[in-house]
Amino acid sequence: MDLDLSPEQKAIQAAARELAQAELEPVAGLLDREFDRRTFVGNLGKLAAQGFMGMNVRRRYGGAEAGTVALSLVLTELGRACAATAASVSVTNMVAEVIQAVGSEEQKATYLPRISSGEYPAASFALTEAGAGSDPAGMVTQAVADGDAFVLDGEKRFITNAPYAGVFVVWAVTDRAAPKGKGISCFLVEAGTRGLVVGRQEDKMGQRASATNEVRLERCRVPRGALLGRLNDGFRVAVAELAGGRIGVGSLALGIGLAAMDYATRYASERVQFGEPVTTFEGVQWMLADAYTELEAARLLLASAAFQKERGRPYAKAASMAKLFATEAAERACRSAVQLMGGQGYLRDHPVERYARDVRVTSIYEGTNEIQRLIVAREILKELVRP
């Protein structure tokens, strides 16, 4: 088994690291304290110029066509510098992949170049509702056919990129008589469409620079051509894309964990107690060994899941395993980083305080880690316990 990156993947990783260090890291702390849409969106434009908004989009639609492994590498590098930006990039790539996977030729030709080029600063994945988070099949937003259009009504929650998204993929019930999860469809709704209302921005614990809003659909009328994929097939599409999104979340969490441990390790190597650098103490060395070992294991799980997806193989279990392990390993790493720095790690003078807040949500969104455990167990039982 060859675990080496290809020359192209190494070049993409290096480009992402360079841009992240030059443009994202210097402003990450400021954006965490004060939401500055102009700076944040400006950075998204710089990422689009490098091809990072359409990583898996085919070149004929303006994408990079670089593959899932490369996208995972990019999100880790961005996560090291600014988790909020990495989250926005991950969601935008998810939307592009949905459109490419099930969209009509007209939809792909219309929206993919706009997403990939940065003409649309970002895109939004509007699935979650107040009563439909871990159970998205329980959504109540509905779309009713009306002549040559559909009329959408409902409210979505926790929608990333909403204030600056150029297009939203919106899920809604189109057949209320169908069994749960079987009567859901998805639609492309452009920003500015009458009835699409971006509501209040959530005041979050972490990843504060990335806007997360409620989105209301108030008699929002879209043409029949806005239907994405087949009628009543939207839930299957959502489940498939969430699996891919879990690789992205795990990748950015890995970046946060690595950034936290790198910073704390350098600090501890200069911190003198009892006449010696803190890193000479066995207890500290064990903390370093455990954290970096877990983060390396996370990297390998993510690489495996990304490779399987890229090769067109079944990857749902691998993605859930990778997301579950990587996010929890990153949380433990951030906790260790704060502990290594003692009281200094609790202060906003150092970025590990931000890393500890930013990483927390990674075990919640794109399916909570409790749901990931259910998915992993279900897949194992399918493989080993046959009726």
For domain 125-235, the question of CATH label 2.40.110.10 is answered with: yes
pLDDT confidence of 292, banded at 50, 70, 90?
very high
Q: Is the pLDDT of residue 35 over 90?
A: no
What would be the CATH architecture of the domain defined by 242-384?
Answer: Up-down Bundle (1.20)
Q: Where are the domains of the chain?
A: 7-122, 125-235, 242-384
Look at residue 53 and tell me whether its pLDDT is greater than 90.
yes
The pTM of the full predicted model, rounded to 2 decimals, is: 0.96
d(CA 62, CA 71): 16
In this predicted model, which residue has the larger pLDDT, 262 or 135?
Answer: 262
Could you report the per-residue pLDDT of 124-182, keeping only the tens digit for each? 999 999 998 889 999 999 999 999 999 999 999 999 999 999 999 999 999 999 999 89
CATH class of 7-122: mainly alpha
- pLDDT of the residue at 1: 62
Kindly provide the residue ranges of all beta strands, DSSP E only, lying in 5-128, ordered along the sequence.
122-126
* Residue 387 pLDDT > 80: no
CA distance 277 to 268: 7
pLDDT at 61: 97
Ramachandran bin of 195, using left for φ above 0, alpha for ψ from -120 to 50, beta for the remaining angles: left
Q: Please state the φ and ψ torsions of residue 42, each to the nearest 5 degrees.
A: -60, -40
At residue 370's C-alpha, the angle toward residues 367 and 375, to 5°, is 75
Is residue 154 within 8 Å of residue 214, measured between CB atoms? no
Sole residue written with tokens 């490369």: 70
Strand partners, 169: 125, 188
Task: Using the predicted structure, report yes or no on whether residue 358 has a pLDDT greater than 80.
Answer: yes
How do beta strands 149-160 and 142-146 pair? Answer: antiparallel
* Nearest one of 170, 182, 181 to 127, comparing CA atoms: 170
Average pLDDT over residues 344-356: 96
Catalytic-labelled residue, pool 77, 366, 379, 383? 366
366 an active-site residue? yes
